[in-house]
């Protein structure tokens, strides 16, 4: 199963839960900002992803919930890119850089591509 197959399945799950139309979803769709997911929606998406892909889902990891806490816990001298890359090894180096850059502007923006990368990682594809 490649990244596009994972995304297609993920789009179907998100559309069914959020009723947003699969044709409006892309890998760059931001989970919280574009879909306006609430925590209950994230739990449902996590459960459906686990069921669809037969994987154990760690919601905190998949949805980057504890990212800011991990960075704060690493100390003031820690490089955010290093912390992100170590905590979330399924993210590409380019994506890690984008997230580190976005920290100055607020919360990093979780995208559906990030969730698909997590699934691929759990499936042993990354």
Give pTM, 2 decimals.
Answer: 0.91
In the chain, which ranges are E strands?
A: none
pLDDT at 5 over 80: yes
pLDDT at 51 over 80: yes
Residue 74, phi then psi, degrees to nearest 5: -75, -10
pLDDT at 108 over 80: no
Instruction: For the chain, give the percent of residues with pLDDT over 70.
Output: 95
Inter-CA distances, 27 with 13, 14, 70, 84, Å = 14, 12, 25, 20
In terms of Cα–Cα distance, which of 9, 3, 32 is closest to 22? Answer: 9
Domains of the chain are 1-63+110-126 (1.10.1200.10), 65-108 (no CATH)
With vertex at residue 69, the alpha carbon angle to CA 42 and CA 113, rounded to the nearest 5 degrees, is: 40
């Amino acid at each position: 199963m490649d990244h596009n197959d994972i995304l297609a399945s993920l789009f179907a799950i998100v559309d069914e839960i959020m009723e947003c139309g699969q044709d409006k979803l892309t890998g760059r769709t931001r989970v919280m900002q574009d879909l306006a997911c609430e925590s209950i929606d994230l739990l449902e998406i996590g459960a459906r992803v686990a069921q669809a892909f037969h994987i154990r889902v760690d919601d905190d990891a998949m949805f980057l919930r504890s990212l800011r806490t991990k960075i704060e816990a690493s100390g003031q001298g820690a490089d955010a890119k290093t912390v992100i890359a170590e905590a979330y090894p399924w993210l590409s180096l380019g994506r890690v850089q984008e997230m580190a850059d976005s920290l100055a502007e607020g919360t990093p923006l979780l995208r559906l591509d990030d969730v698909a990368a997590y699934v691929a990682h759990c499936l042993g594809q990354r």
